[in-house]
Amino acid sequence: VTTRDESKAVVRSQKLFQRLLAAYPKVHREKYGPEMAQLFRDQSRDAWREARLRGLVMLWLRVLPDLVKTSLLEHLSSLKGKKSMFDRISEILRPRSVPVRVFRGVFLAVFLLVFGGATVITFILPETYASTTRIKLQTDAEAVAGPRRTAASTAYDPYFLQTQFEVIQSEKVLGKVIEQLNLNVVWGRKYQNGQNLKTIETVALLKGRMALRPVRNTSFVEIRVFGEDKDEAAKIANAIAESYRDQRQEQRRAALMSGIKPLEERVDAQEKRVAAAWENLNRLRKEGNVPDPEPAVEELHSRYPAYLAAKQELEAEAKLRTTLEKKVAVEKIDVDLPPSLLVEITDQAVPGLRPVRPNKPLNLVLGVLIGGVLALGLATVAAAITYIVRKKLHRQTAVN
Amino acid sequence: MGPGTLYGTIKRLIEAQLIEESDDRPDPHLDDERRRYYRLTGVGQRVVKAEAQRYAEMVAVARGKKLIGKLASAICGGGCQ
């Protein structure tokens, strides 16, 4: 085999390969055709140099299946746009592609975390019941019967409700409730390992568990008590209302009694004055020998003027005493007013049917809403960061 | 490697931005003007490293399971170290 033979075989081989390049798509052929032909030419020469014709045959046995396979792949790739591994990598690194997977992943993770947390906390929290007693309040002046009401006594007191709220929460009112329901012992057993609580501590606990609310545009007030034990909450609410009612009644009685006492002293003094006037009249009757039965006023006036004057004085003193007695009687009527006129318990508290806290539907809805908003925000941020990082990588690649 | 496989691979690597054509050329007496030179991009280098790491881990797993020893003895027929 000569060099001439070599060049003939190699040249024919190269020509054949160049013709077979037509099997590739035009774009591929235009871009890489010359290089592929060049490579084949080099490989042909090497093969000839190594094993002459046998080398060329062996080369063709390798190249031909490769050519069939890769030309088919290129056609498929250009026709179907089938994505190879490299295409996928390229797509991932392309800065324009939105990182949907990152967004979806972060969104799901954050949403499930928030919603799951809200659900778990909602179901772990102890249940709290509420019981409400409604009372109708009246000022002391309003409670007094209609005809005795005066413009001054019914004057509007803008601080009445606030003052009464403070009275309801006072140790005087709550102390009675604590004593009545034995809360120092009961709550001590619950919250202080069996040691009794001090009243001041129980009052503080009780204040934290109660809420007072005026019913708009009425004289009604709601006393709401919260507790893990629904029966206890209802009992406490009712006991507070009763204790407050008694307190108001007691307070009013004490105030009125303090006003009646000087009046009664005045009645006693007047009684003495009446007695003295009576004695004076009797003395004058005896001294003046006033006949019995008494003569007419005209005769008394002409014959017994001193006696007549004493008689008129006695009548005036007696009249004043009667007036004072009437006044005391009226004041005593006010003292004995039924307590319901001051504080009327219109609705007794009953044990709650279902817990008010935690509000499960609300918590779950909030979990969905907050989780959704938070997840949306964080997922957007994560996707944006991913996009920026990819863009940077892309720029670096372009620079390199 | 056949020319079809080589240039198909080069094409995809360029499209994936893992390699790129380089203008740097060696000394003229070592060069051939028909030659084209390619080099790894930054991303390409990272992908190569990651792939090499993956292979290293696979080898480690295979060693852990004593697969490589068995395979080697099967291939060598007990005649190689």
Which of A45, A89, A97 is most worth mutating to test chain B (most B CB atoms within 10 A of its CB)? A89
Chain pair A-B, CB pairs under 8 angstroms? 76
Q: Whose structure tokens read 């005649």? A: B79
Using CB atoms within 10 Å of the CB of residue B68, give its burial: 0 to 12 exposed, 13 to 18 middle, 19+ buried.
middle
Percent of chain A with pLDDT over 70: 88
Query: For residue B47, what are the contacts with CB-CB under 8 A and spacing of at least 6?
Result: A89, B18
Q: Residue B22: is its pLDDT beyond 60? A: yes
Distances (CA, A) of A294 to A132, A289, A290, B68: 73, 10, 7, 151
d(CA A396, CA A391): 9
pLDDT, average across residues A285-305: 87
Q: How are beta strands A343-347 and A220-227 bridged, if at all? A: unpaired
CB A70 within 8 A of CB B2: yes
- Bridge partners (DSSP) listed for residue B47: none
d(CA B43, CA A159): 77
Q: Encode pLDDT of A57-100 as tens digits.
A: 899 889 988 988 888 888 887 766 555 556 666 555 555 566 78
Distances (CA, A) of A186 to A1, A37, A67, A107, A223: 117, 99, 93, 49, 21
Which of A59, A93, A94 is most worth mutating to test chain B (most B CB atoms within 10 A of its CB)? A93
Among chain B residues, CA nearest to A38? B34
**Is A74–B10 a contact, with Cβ atoms under 8 angstroms apart?**
no
Token output for A272: 């003495």
Q: Whose structure tokens read 């039965």? A: A293
pLDDT, average across residues A350-371: 90
**Is B15–A86 a contact, with Cβ atoms under 8 angstroms apart?**
yes
**Is A35–B8 a contact, with Cβ atoms under 8 angstroms apart?**
no
- Which has the higher per-residue pLDDT, A29 or B32? A29
Q: Residue A235: is its pLDDT beyond 80? A: yes
Poorest-pLDDT segment among A308-317, B42-51, B52-61, B65-74: B65-74
**Is B4–A71 a contact, with Cβ atoms under 8 angstroms apart?**
yes
Residue A147's pLDDT is 47
CB A129 within 8 A of CB A227: yes
The confidence band for A338, taking pLDDT boundaries of 50, 70 and 90, is confident
Q: Which helix (H) or strand (E) holds B19?
A: strand B19-22
Query: For residue A179, what are the contacts with CB-CB under 8 A and spacing of at least 6?
Result: none
Q: Which helix (H) or strand (E) holds A227?
A: strand A220-227
d(CA A133, CA A232): 13
Q: Residue A192: is its pLDDT beyond 60? A: yes
d(CA A306, CA A281): 9
Q: Residue A146: is its pLDDT beyond 60? A: no
Residue A223's pLDDT is 96
Render B34-78 in DSSP notation, one character per residue: T--EEEE-HHHHHHHHHHHHHHHHHHHHHHHTTHHHHHHHHHHTT
Poorest-pLDDT segment among A206-210, A258-262, A337-341, B72-76: B72-76
Poorest-pLDDT segment among A147-151, A185-189, A317-321, A395-399: A147-151
**Is A66–B2 a contact, with Cβ atoms under 8 angstroms apart?**
yes
Q: Residue A19: is its pLDDT beyond 70? A: yes
Residue A268's pLDDT is 94
pLDDT, average across residues A311-331: 92
Residue A1's pLDDT is 47
CA atoms A262, A264, A270, A275: torsion sign: negative
Q: Which of A36, A71, A90 sits opposite B16 (nearest CB)?
A: A90
Residue A348's pLDDT is 95
Q: Which of B4, B12, B20 sits opposite A86 (nearest CB)?
A: B12
d(CA B44, CA B31): 25
- Which has the higher per-residue pLDDT, A84 or A1? A84
Neighbours of A389 (CB within 10 A): 12
pLDDT, average across residues A346-353: 93
Q: Which residues of A touch B (CB under 8 A)?
A: 17, 24, 28, 31-32, 35-40, 43, 62-63, 66-67, 69-71, 73-74, 84, 86-87, 89-90, 93, 393-394, 396-397, 400
Q: Which residues of A touch B3 (CB under 8 A)?
A: 17, 35-37, 39-40, 43, 63, 66-67
pLDDT, average across residues A283-292: 87
pLDDT, average across residues A364-377: 94
**Is A36–B13 a contact, with Cβ atoms under 8 angstroms apart?**
no
CB A378 within 8 A of CB A90: no
**Is A35–B36 a contact, with Cβ atoms under 8 angstroms apart?**
yes
Percent of chain A with pLDDT over 90: 43
CB A363 within 8 A of CB A125: no
Among chain A residues, CA nearest to B36? A35
pLDDT, average across residues A169-194: 92
CA distance A10 to chain B (A): 16
Q: Which of B2, B5, B47 sits opposite A89 (nearest CB)?
A: B47
Radius of gyration of chain A (CA): 55
CA distance A4 to chain B (A): 25
Q: Encode pLDDT of A240-281 as tens digits.
A: 999 999 999 898 888 888 888 899 999 999 999 999 999 999
The pTM (predicted TM-score) of the whole model is 0.49
CB A42 within 8 A of CB B9: no
Which of B12, B23, B33, B51 is most worth mutating to test chain A (most A CB atoms within 10 A of its CB)? B12
Q: Residue A141: is its pLDDT beyond 80? A: no
Token output for A217: 């545009």
Q: Which residues of B touch A63 (CB under 8 A)?
A: 2-4
**Is B18–A89 a contact, with Cβ atoms under 8 angstroms apart?**
yes
pLDDT, averaged across chain B = 83
Q: Residue B81: is its pLDDT beyond 60? A: no
pLDDT, averaged across chain A = 86
pLDDT, average across residues A164-186: 94
CA distance B56 to chain A (A): 20
Q: Which residues of A touch B17 (CB under 8 A)?
A: 90, 93, 394, 397
Q: Which of A66, A84, A90 sits opposite B4 (nearest CB)?
A: A66
- Which has the higher per-residue pLDDT, A3 or A321? A321
- Bridge partners (DSSP) listed for residue B20: B39
CA atoms A189, A191, A193, A196: torsion sign: negative
Q: Which residues of B touch A (CB under 8 A)?
A: 1-8, 10-13, 15-18, 20, 34, 36, 41-44, 47
CA distance A110 to chain B (A): 29
